[in-house]
Structure 1
């Protein structure tokens, strides 16, 4: 478990399942995450959590309120290439947790842990070009390194995606 400013990053618990089901079934949120949303029953979400937790080349943490343990979302690093020191970021916050500094605190904890334990030196992400989240990532140290034009199909339109990266401090 990793403790930060009002939050903790920890393994998922059965008590998190309802919140995580809500997030996985929120179509608008899944669009923002560049995911292809599909109905997710509690059992399907449980299997997804087990799979995420068992991946060798990934880190998966629930973001929880430190005082109450309430699930606020999750953060993950996937496609970790330890030899190269790189990984791809994914973060999902419940709407009620957004705009409160939770995302920034979770990224600080995750990045520090990934650097110390796995010697990661760079984190990469993809984000919709016209989405406000791109500005959030810029504020926390990510920079745009490319644009994939008409890269994802959502709601009848092809949308551009930014490639962003953050070099971690040595």
Structure 2
């Protein structure tokens, strides 16, 4: 992994296109749609996104997305097909150790390949613009939909120790899946 990626900042505004998707910044216009995307038992269980996810949580997430971007550590982008209505979110977090991608797709928009496509677009950005040598996904083996996304996006399970912890009062053990620079 290139340690130089952690020193450059992210652009103030972002829009990435590819694979029939437009990944774009969250805006105030998205606040009303966010609870429909994120207030769901699957998202509450498998992700660190707050639950219940209401209007106040939407405002907090928008503010957090902007702070993390300004800090140069994390990008949170809305997943859309045309730059319009958000269907989910894709995240890229980088530090000196790794470049990690994460995602959440609204329940009404699953089964369309959105997560795998968004992950591939974000991985291409990490390779081409940030100079990352590898991007990773950290997920639980029991999360079959995420394992399928990792596989569809071209990631392979890495021989790394499990990342163990607790989130929302529930223990977890994350596998690390990796995709190397083409």
The answer to whether the superposition gives a TM-score over 0.5 is yes
Displacement of 1:122 in angstroms is 0.6
Determine whether 1:7 maps to 2:21: yes
Q: Which secondary structure state, in structure 1, belongs to the residue aligned with residue 87 of structure 2?
A: strand
CA pair 167-5 structure 1, distance change in 2 beyond 3 A: closer
CA pair 158-57 structure 1, distance change in 2 beyond 3 A: closer
CA pair 9-87 structure 1, distance change in 2 beyond 3 A: same
Which of the residues 69, 72, 78 maps onto 1:56?
Answer: 72
For residue 110 of structure 2, what is the aligned residue in structure 1? 98
Structure 1 stretches lacking a partner, 5+ long: none
Q: 1:13-162 maps to which residues of 2 (within 5 A)?
A: 13-33=27-47, 35=48, 37-40=50-53, 41=56, 42-66=58-82, 69-81=84-96, 86-132=98-144, 133-145=146-158, 146-148=160-162, 151-153=164-166, 158-162=171-175
Q: How far, CA to CA, are the matches of 1:26 and 1:4 in structure 2? A: 27
Deviations, residues 108-150 of structure 1 (Å, cap 9, x unaligned): 221112211111111122111111111320232212223527x
CA contact (8 A) 2:21 2:117 kept: yes
Deviations, residues 85-109 of structure 1 (Å, cap 9, x unaligned): x311111111122210211221222
Q: Which secondary structure state, in structure 2, belongs to the residue aligned with residue 90 of structure 1?
A: strand
Larger RCO: Structure 1 or Structure 2 (Cα < 8 Å, ≥ 6 residues apart)? 2
TM-score (norm 2): 0.75
Paired residues in the alignment total 163
Higher strand fraction: Structure 1 or Structure 2?
1
TM-score (norm 1): 0.80
CA contact (8 A) 2:19 2:121 kept: no
Q: Which secondary structure state, in structure 1, belongs to the residue aligned with residue 132 of structure 2?
A: coil
Q: What do you get for the CA RMSD once the two structures are aligned?
A: 2.5
